[in-house]
Amino acid sequence: MTLTDSSTRIRTGEELDVSHIDPYLKAHIPGLSGTPAISQFPGGASNLTYLIEYPGVELVLRRPPFGQKAKSAHDMGREFHILNQLKDAFPYCPKAYVHCTGSQLIGSEFYVMERLKGIILRSELPPELALSADDTRSLCMSFIDTLVELHQVDYNACGLSDLGKPEGYVQRQISGWSQRYEKALTPDAPHWEEVKQWLNAKMPSDHPTPAIVHNDWRFDNVILDPRNPMHIIGVLDWELTTLGDPLMDLGNTLAYWIEADDPAPIQLMRRQPSNALGMLTRRECVDYYAKRSGIEIDNFDFYYTYGLFRLAGIVQQIYYRYYHGQTQDKRFAPFVHMNALLEQMSLKVIRQSSL
């Protein structure tokens, strides 16, 4: 059994036409020969990711999802630009080869990058890794250390000063996700009114040292070295990256962080092994991040609640496409229930908060 991330057959309705893709890639990437085999990576719920295999060369193609898309989301050119500019300062970025701006080939723009072959963790730690509790703790610390490393990159020096506007970032995130949530609302979804009011009332000022924020820092977006699984060799999914408050980025990460002692309904949402023996708790993650980054964190309730609300917005945008028949992916059918559970988690934080 291989532990490296594997592709599978392409989902119905998401096929790529090899007769269109092959000549384009050969015209833009030297050294390709033969006819490629195309398969699809099954993970992810946003952009679609395909493996394109030529003799001796493996490439990854990324394209937006089908159906309605939020304005400014799924910008392939932006992601391509980030990978190319950031790679020298943050060597976990895959090399991006080509960005196709037109939609004539596959019905949308897309870009193609190198395949970084390694282990991507999903819901559980593979037993074949045989990680001890100490190993798992080291892996968790590496996960946070790499996020701190990203937040400490000089974005001006690597040519990414135009990536976003740090001033007013916190306020824009709250208002922006509130608007996006309203646009994606379906009749069966919660309204989040109490949480939105609390976030607006408790909003802190922007952190004085803005950073590159990944905005989707999860275990299934990092690639582990197969020879040393405690070592991260790659970071994926840069579509949401911008400049802003690093604590908001950490809040996004902890919104996905389901602990071992969280209630059973919450465990059903877990998509990464954050409950494994040896993993840090959310509180320990915050404390470790503060220690490694040198950022003082007095109270994390706002950032965590924001992360939960933003995650609900992402979940609802995906569910909106499923609800309206714009995707047939059955994985998205229960997302409205996940949304409701996220609201309950947020309300619990608010009612116990000292803010």
For residue 331, pLDDT over 60 is answered with yes
Whether residues 173 and 62 fall in one domain: no
Q: Is residue 199 part of a domain?
A: yes
> How many distinct structural domains can be found in the chain?
2
User: Using an 8 Å Cβ cutoff, are 272 and 255 in contact?
Assistant: no
Whether residues 153 and 294 fall in one domain: yes
Q: Which domain holds residue 23?
A: 18-114
Whether residues 250 and 324 fall in one domain: yes
Q: Is residue 1 part of a domain?
A: no
Q: Is residue 343 part of a domain?
A: yes
pTM of the model: 0.93
pLDDT at 44: 64
Q: Is residue 13 part of a domain?
A: no
Distance CA(32)–CA(6), nearest Å, equals: 22
Distance CA(352)–CA(165), nearest Å, equals: 33
Q: Is residue 4 part of a domain?
A: no
Label residue 297 exposed, middle or buried (CB < 10 Å: 0-12, 13-18, 19+): middle
- What does the pLDDT look like over 285-326, one tens digit per residue? 999 999 999 999 999 999 999 999 999 999 999 999 999 999
Which domain-ending residue is among 65, 83, 114?
A: 114
Q: What is the 3-state secondary structure (H, E, C) of 335-351?
A: HHHHHHHHHHHHHHHHH
CATH of the domain at 56: 3.30.200.20
User: Using an 8 Å Cβ cutoff, are 43 and 290 in contact?
Assistant: no
Please, what is the Cα angle at 342 between 289 and 170, to 5 degrees? 50
Distance CA(41)–CA(139), nearest Å, equals: 24
- What does the pLDDT look like over 63-114, one tens digit per residue? 998 865 544 556 899 999 999 999 999 999 999 999 999 999 999 999 999 9
pLDDT at 1: 41
